[in-house]
C-alpha cells in the first residue's frame, strides 16, 4: 500500500495572464508497484501543456507494460522513451516540448528513476537521507533546459533499494527543495531540512501540499508553476 499526497498550482505570471498550468503529473499503483511521471512544459512554447500531459500518460502506461519483467530501471527507461516518441508525433512537435521525470517503486523499497530536464525526483531512504535525481545540465549551456523534443537528449538514470518513498516535483520548487552540490550530476542535492518536514507529515497521512504552497507563496518562494507528489510505502 502507498500513501499519496499531491498538489499543483500555477505560478504568479500564469495567474496574472490567465494562462494554463504547464505542469502535468500522473501516477498508477498496481501489482505492488507504484509508477509516477511528472513533466514541466516549456513556458515559451505554445502547446507545452498538452505535450506535458501526453508525456506523463505515455510514460506511466508504457512503464506498466513492462512490469512483468521485474526490472524497475527497464520500466522507467521504456516510459521515458515512449513519452519522447509521443511528443514527436505531434505536428510542429517542437511547440509541445517538456521535461520529464519517471519513477518506479515496489513494496520492497526498490526504485528507479529516469529523467530529462530539470523536473526532479527525491528518493526518501530508510536511513532518513534523501537522494536527489534530475536531468543533467547541458555542458556550457547548463542554463538551457533539455526537453523531450530537443535534437539530442542526455537522460539521467538512477536506481537503488532501501527506500521508504519518493517525491516528484518541477523546477518551481527546486530552489527551496535542493542545494547546490557541484559533485552531483545535476549540480544539486536535496535540502534535507525541507524534505525531513515533508516526509514526517506524509508518513502520518497529514501532508497538505496546497497548504505548503500557500505558505511558500506568502514567503514569495513560488515563482513558477509548482507541483509536488509525495509517495510513501505503508
- Tens digit of each residue's pLDDT (9 = 90 or more) over 93-113: 999 999 999 999 999 999 999
Q: Where are the domains of the chain?
A: 2-233
> 163-169 and 120-125: which strand pairing?
antiparallel
**Cβ atoms 111, 161 nearer than 8 A:** yes
pTM of the model: 0.93
Task: Give residue-wise pLDDT tens across range 155-210.
Answer: 999 999 999 999 999 988 988 998 887 677 667 889 999 999 999 999 999 999 99
* Selected residue with higher pLDDT from 57 and 186: 57
Cβ atoms 15, 40 nearer than 8 A: no
pLDDT of 17: 74
**Residue 21 near residue 15 (C-beta atoms within 8 A):** no
Closest CA to 51 of 147, 116, 145, 192: 147
Cα 231 to Cα 166: distance, rounded to the nearest angstrom: 5
Give dist(CA 71, CA 228) in Å, integer: 26
CATH number of 2-233: 3.60.40.10
The span from the CA of 11 to the CA of 213, in Å, is: 11
**Residue 132: per-residue pLDDT:** 94
Amino acid at each position: 500500500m502507498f500513501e499519496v499526497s499531491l498538489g499543483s498550482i500555477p505560478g504568479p505570471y500564469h495567474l496574472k495572464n490567465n494562462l494554463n498550468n504547464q505542469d502535468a503529473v500522473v501516477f498508477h499503483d498496481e501489482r505492488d508497484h507504484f509508477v509516477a511521471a511528472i513533466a514541466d512544459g516549456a513556458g515559451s512554447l505554445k502547446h507545452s501543456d498538452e505535450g506535458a500531459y501526453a508525456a506523463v500518460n505515455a510514460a506511466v502506461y508504457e512503464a506498466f507494460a513492462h512490469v512483468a519483467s521485474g526490472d524497475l530501471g527497464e520500466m522507467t527507461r521504456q516510459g521515458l522513451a515512449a513519452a519522447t516518441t509521443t511528443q514527436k508525433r505531434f505536428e510542429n512537435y517542437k511547440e509541445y516540448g517538456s521535461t520529464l521525470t519517471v519513477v518506479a517503486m515496489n513494496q520492497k523499497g526498490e526504485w528507479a528513476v529516469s529523467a530529462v530536464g530539470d523536473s526532479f525526483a527525491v528518493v526518501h531512504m530508510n536511513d532518513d537521507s534523501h537522494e536527489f535525481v534530475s536531468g543533467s545540465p547541458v555542458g556550457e549551456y547548463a542554463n538551457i533546459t533539455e526537453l523531450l523534443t530537443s535534437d539530442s537528449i542526455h537522460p539521467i538514470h538512477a536506481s537503488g533499494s532501501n527506500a521508504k518513498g519518493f517525491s516528484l516535483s518541477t523546477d518551481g520548487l527546486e530552489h527551496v527543495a535542493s542545494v547546490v552540490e557541484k559533485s552531483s550530476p545535476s549540480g544539486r542535492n536535496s535540502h534535507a531540512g525541507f524534505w525531513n518536514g515533508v516526509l514526517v507529515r506524509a508518513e502520518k497521512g497529514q501532508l497538505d501540499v496546497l497548504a505548503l504552497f500557500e505558505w511558500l507563496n506568502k514567503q514569495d518562494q513560488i515563482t513558477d508553476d509548482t507541483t509536488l507528489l509525495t509517495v510513501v510505502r505503508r
